[in-house]
Chains A and B, each alone.
Chain A
Amino acid sequence: MHKISGIRSVGKEYVELARSLGASPRKAFFDIVIPLALNSIFTGLRLEAGMAWRTIVAAEMIAIPVGIGALMMVSQYLIRVDIIMLCLRVLALMTLTSEKLLMLIEEKIVRWR
């Protein structure tokens, strides 16, 4: 959704300017729309990365017998709160790492911001 809204948020005026300068619709899309939408696209990716990790863990808790989610379920039966807390920390770390990684990539690519 963020990717689509990012593309939609690019000012129509920029596309018109590119077209009047001689760019074809395809050229205007790749030269203007995509680069200007990158900001919103990366914001969406960062948000979705955290959501993706949480979804994986939720799936592991319900349907998959391996992974952090499954470990948390087993720990719950064994009343091992320490393992549950550790799993949550690992999940937080994974989410944070993905977000920071995407931020680094964004800084490299979206230099004009």
Chain B
Amino acid sequence: MTKIKLENISNKYILKKVDLTIFSKELFMLLGPSGAGKTTLLKAIAGLVDYEGRIFFDGESIDNLPPEGRMVGYVPQEFTLFPHMTVEDNIAYGLKVRRLPSPTILQRVEQLLDIFGLRSLRKRYPKDLSGGENSV
């Protein structure tokens, strides 16, 4: 079953009529030289850049949906943590903006802190973390 389908995706500068189909449960890698447009294509899927063409999720067009309505998680290469939030606030932010109930947020944050071994670092700001801790 098709999960994500891109049709004729073009962008002002980089992308030129890209067609792509990614199936459900498929492990998909996008490879290419620097400047080829890999990041731009991912941003287009996430709705973070303007594009022409059509994008479908499970057969439904998402072209008119804003980034927050697409339910796509985009993790950039850099700037992955908000510097003004503590580790636990960074984890909780995505859940808070999606207006999940507070007990659910708290439970999920605790779970993730345990899974990634970050419990002792929960109150620290990104500037106080090592490079490795930051990438976790």
Contacts and interface: CB of A to CB of B under 8 A. Distances in A.
With a 10 A CB-CB cut-off, give which of B74, B76, B97 has the most chain A CB atoms.
Answer: B97
Interface in B13-64: 43, 46-48
Interface stretch (B4-12, B77-85, B103-111, B113-121): B77-85
Interface stretch (A8-16, A40-48, A73-81, A92-100): A8-16
A22 B46 CA distance: 11
A105 B66 CA distance: 37
B84 A112 contact: yes
A35 to B, nearest CB: 5
Interface size range on B against A? 20 to 34
A23 interface: yes
The secondary-structure label for the interface of chain B is loop
* CB-based closest 8 A-B pairs: A21-B94, A20-B74, A13-B79, A19-B67, A112-B84, A23-B97, A22-B97, A22-B98
A30 to B, nearest CB: 11
A112 B48 contact: no
B79 A23 contact: no
